[in-house]
């Protein structure tokens, strides 16, 4: 890493301020007592190493917030990287907010994060966990020359839960009932009682995650992964894929399939022996970060 000093410019500070202001506005707009976490959980953050030209754009997962990847960010910062953790739209606020968001809004959020990191780093690694890993893959596909390397952990190519297979049908049903709410028929059948807009989320980190998962968000993830799956063979930058062998939410075959289909000559795959989906926090994260460190030292 270079010892040249890179200060935060006025333009860079404006970009950071804009993201913070957007979060604060949406936090107030969608605040839900008993569900919305403290602002510190949802706020995007920059860990700036003024002596490094290398940065990591670090993306959290679905129903989570930038705090989910804080331990990972701290580890990378200690390695000497500048790290920016954007907040994807609909996160850090409420599940109701997330239920109305589309995948392109998540991508737009990360695009703005990329602009922030470009303002202070010449070399950028794109990295993410779970849905963040899917967005990281999408970024590498859509902007093939923007990143030096890619890290995707637990990306959701194949869901384990049987209920996820019906997400599209349930979502269409919910939309139909929403339309009928404004018709005279609503007085007869009480459409609200027939809706199934959320399912319970058995969160690994309940102090961070929403405990309600919007059915519409599962549909959006599937659309995102369909785009990724269609173009994944175009990824040629150094890539690290990690997945927990006993992940109860996302089939470990997801990681295996993604790894096989990436065409990069410098790609690595690692399965972590663990029984939970969340592997970027707590004691198990040490094993993950060791793999990340080895990969980055080899490829950056």
Structural domain contains residue 35: yes
- Asked whether the predicted pLDDT for residue 196 surpasses 80, the reply is no
CATH number at residue 132: 3.40.50.1820
Structural domain contains residue 250: yes
Q: What is the pLDDT of residue 198?
A: 80
Structural domain contains residue 219: no
Residue 134: beta bridge partners? none
Could you read off the pLDDT of 5-33 as tens digits, one per residue? 566 788 889 999 999 999 999 999 999 99
Domain count, the chain: 1
Structural domain contains residue 203: no
Task: Provide the domain limits for residue 35.
Answer: 10-159+225-299
Radius of gyration of the chain (CA): 19
Could you read off the pLDDT of 88-109 as tens digits, one per residue? 999 999 999 999 999 999 999 9
CA distances from 4 to 7, 13, 96, 270 (A): 10, 20, 45, 34
Instruction: Calculate the dihedral angle through the C-alpha atoms of 132, 136, 141, 145, rounding to the nearest 10 degrees.
Output: 160
What is the DSSP annotation of 192-249? GGG---EEE---S-TTTS-SEEEHHHHHHHHHHHHHHHHHGGG--S-EEEEEETT-SS
Nearest to 225 by CA among 143, 106, 89: 106
Structural domain contains residue 90: yes
Q: Which of 50-59, 184-193, 254-263 has the lowest mean pLDDT?
A: 184-193
What is the DSSP annotation of 163-203? GGGGHHHHHHHHHHHHHHTTSTTHHHH-GGGG---EEE---
- Asked whether the predicted pLDDT for residue 164 surpasses 70, the reply is no
Structural domain contains residue 171: no
Structural domain contains residue 256: yes
Other C-beta atoms within 10 Å of 292: how many? 24
Structural domain contains residue 147: yes
CB-CB contact of 140 with 59 (8 Å): no
Could you read off the pLDDT of 255-273 as tens digits, one per residue? 999 999 999 999 999 999 9
């Amino acid at each position: 890493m270079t010892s040249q000093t890179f200060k935060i410019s006025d333009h860079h500070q404006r970009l950071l301020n804009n993201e913070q202001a957007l979060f604060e506005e949406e936090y107030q707009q969608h605040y839900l007592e008993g569900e919305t976490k403290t602002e510190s959980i949802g706020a995007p953050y920059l860990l700036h190493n003024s002596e490094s030209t290398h940065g990591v754009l670090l993306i959290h997962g679905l129903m989570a917030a930038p705090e989910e990847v804080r331990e990972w960010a701290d580890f990378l910062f200690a390695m000497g990287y500048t790290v920016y953790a954007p907040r994807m739209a609909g996160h850090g606020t409420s599940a109701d907010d997330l239920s109305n968001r589309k995948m392109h809004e998540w991508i737009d959020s990360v695009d703005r994060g990329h602009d922030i990191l470009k303002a202070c780093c010449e070399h950028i690694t794109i990295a993410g966990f779970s849905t963040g890993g899917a967005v990281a893959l999408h970024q590498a596909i859509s902007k093939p020359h923007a990143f030096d390397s890619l890290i995707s952990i637990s990306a959701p190519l194949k869901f384990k839960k049987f209920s996820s297979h019906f997400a599209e049908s349930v979502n269409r049903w919910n939309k139909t009932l929403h339309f009928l709410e404004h018709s005279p028929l609503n007085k007869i059948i009480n459409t609200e009682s027939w809706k199934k807009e959320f399912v319970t989320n058995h969160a690994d980190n309940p102090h961070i995650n929403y405990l309600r998962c919007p059915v519409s968000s599962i549909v959006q993830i599937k659309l995102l992964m369909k785009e990724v799956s269609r173009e994944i063979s175009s990824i040629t930058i150094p890539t690290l894929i990690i997945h927990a062998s006993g992940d109860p939410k996302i089939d470990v075959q997801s990681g295996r399939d993604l790894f096989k289909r990436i065409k990069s000559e410098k790609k690595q795959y690692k399965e972590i022996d663990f029984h939970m989906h969340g592997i970027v926090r707590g004691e198990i994260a040490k094993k993950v970060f060791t793999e990340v460190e080895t990969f980055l030292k080899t490829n950056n």
